[in-house]
Amino acid sequence: MGRVKLQMADRIIHLSLRILRRDFKHINTGEAKIYLIEAAPRLLTMYDEDLSDYTKLALEGMGVTVKVNSPVKAIREGEIELEGETIRSANII
């Protein structure tokens, strides 16, 4: 995963955790789940492994489910298929 994808994930987290809670109080952000799916064995593979580990822990600390070694097999309306798992979602980015 490169920096651009990670920056995009950060913006989505910011949107769901801060802006929606503040401006759209009728939306229950506690029910929202954010998944970051990466086919590679770790995030930010071009950087030192310590930075990858730190980044993963930081994202998980913000409530993001990080899945590495998880290539996407298929994306269909309302779901993402991984090896041995299907994640259902109304919003897929």
Residue 25 has φ and ψ, to the nearest 5°, of -65, -20
Q: Which band of pLDDT confidence, cut at 50, 70 and 90, is reported for residue 1? A: low
pLDDT in tens, 54-68: 999 999 998 889 999
Residue length, the chain?
93
What integer pLDDT is reported at residue 74 of this predicted model?
A: 97
CATH dotted code for 3-88 = 3.50.50.60
pLDDT in tens, 3-50: 777 788 778 777 777 777 778 777 777 777 889 999 999 999 989 999
Q: Is the pLDDT of residue 51 over 60?
A: yes
Helix (H) or strand (E) holding 86: strand 85-88
For 84: left if phi > 0, alpha if psi spans -120 to 50, otherwise beta; the answer is left
CA–CA dist 42, 51 (Å, integer): 10
Q: Is the pLDDT of residue 70 over 80?
A: yes
The residues spanned by each domain of the chain are 3-88
CA–CA dist 5, 29 (Å, integer): 22
